[in-house]
Amino acid sequence: MERHFDEELKDLNKEILKMGVLAQEAIFKSIEALKNRDKNQAQEVISSDRKIDELELVIDERCIDLIARHQPMAGDLRFITMSMKISTDLERIADLAVDISQRVLELSDKPLLKPLIDIPKLAVLSQEMLNDVITSFLNANADLAKKVILKDSEADSLRNLIQEELLNEYICKDRNCIPRAMPLLLIARHLERICDHATNIAEDVIYMVNAKVVKHHPEKLGNGM
């Protein structure tokens, strides 16, 4: 039987996707701003963040309303409760894009310390993870969500690599480069945190689809999910 409630669930789905797309755009623009040393683009990311913040509030209110009015059960309940959590992670991802943009502004009047090689790699990884996890949410695909979780260690390794290089090859050798090195180090951290949030979303998608809790229990990922 078709339910009017299903329309409301579809609307919630659309709002999450909208937020996902905005978060993806924010990361993309912040990295383009870094590569092109574009202050205007960085500023645009910062000022667009408000829209994403408001969307989180809209989604929260809608989820609470759906729970109060419809007493959802089973899959519907998991979808609604996980949507609330996913919107929080998406909002944090957008905030991290803002943080990257702020680092870009800090770097904009200084010559680039070194060619950017590993940071763009980490940026691509974060964008892939976010894109895949949004797709996994859209298609209720737990297997794709699992792949996202498994990529997180790669993000950690890349961040460590960037950190070590900046610390050992630049900061330790010449303290004068700190104003140019620190923002890059922080950008790597921001990107790695984006990957962490994408991983959180993936864990929520797995619970939403399979009712399986893999959050804080990576050992459960392998078990016939």
Partner 1 sequence: MDKFIRIKAEKINFYYGKTQALKNVSFDIYANQVTAIIGPSGCGKSTFIRIINRMHELIPNTRCEGKIIFDGEDICCDPAMDVVAVRRRIGMVFQKPNPFPKSIFENIAYGLKVNGIKDKHYIEEKVVDSLKKAALWDEVKERLHESALKLSGGQQQRLCIARALAVEPEVILFDEPCASLDPISTAKIEELILELKKEYTIIIVTHNMQQAARVSDRTAFFLLGEMIEMGDTQQIFTAPNDKRTEAYITGRFG
What is the three-state SS of 102-148?
HHHHHHCCCCCCCCCCHHHHHHHHHHHHHHHHHHHHHCCCHHHHHHH
Q: Between residues 9 and 52, which has the closer beta carbon with respect to partner 1? A: 9
Residue 12 CB, shortest distance to partner 1, in Å, is 14
Residue 62 CB, shortest distance to partner 1, in Å, is 10
Lookup result for tokens 């974060």: 126
Are 61 and 85 in contact by the 8 Å Cβ rule? The answer is no
Considering only residues 40 through 79, tell me which ones interact with partner 1, judged by CB under 8 A: 64-65, 68-71
Token pair of 142 as six digits: 């737990």
Q: Between residues 44 and 76, which has the closer beta carbon with respect to partner 1? A: 76
Q: Between residues 66 and 166, which has the closer beta carbon with respect to partner 1? A: 66
Residue 213 CB, shortest distance to partner 1, in Å, is 27
Rounded-to-integer distance, Cα 161 and Cα 129, Å: 19
Residue 66 CB, shortest distance to partner 1, in Å, is 10
Please state, as a whole number, how many other Cβ atoms lie within 10 Å of the Cβ of residue 138: 14
Token pair of 11 as six digits: 């609307």
Element (H, E) at 73: none
Number of residues that bind partner 1 (CB under 8 A): 11
DSSP 223: S
Residue 71 CB, shortest distance to partner 1, in Å, is 5
DSSP 159: H
Residue 10 CB, shortest distance to partner 1, in Å, is 15
Considering only residues 2 through 31, tell me which ones interact with partner 1, judged by CB under 8 A: 2-5
DSSP 193: H
Q: Between residues 66 and 194, which has the closer beta carbon with respect to partner 1? A: 66
Tell which residue, 134, 133, 130, 114, has the closest CA to residue 122.
130
Q: Between residues 68 and 172, which has the closer beta carbon with respect to partner 1? A: 68
Q: Between residues 14 and 69, which has the closer beta carbon with respect to partner 1? A: 69
By CB under 8 A, name the binding residues for partner 1.
Answer: 1-5, 64-65, 68-71
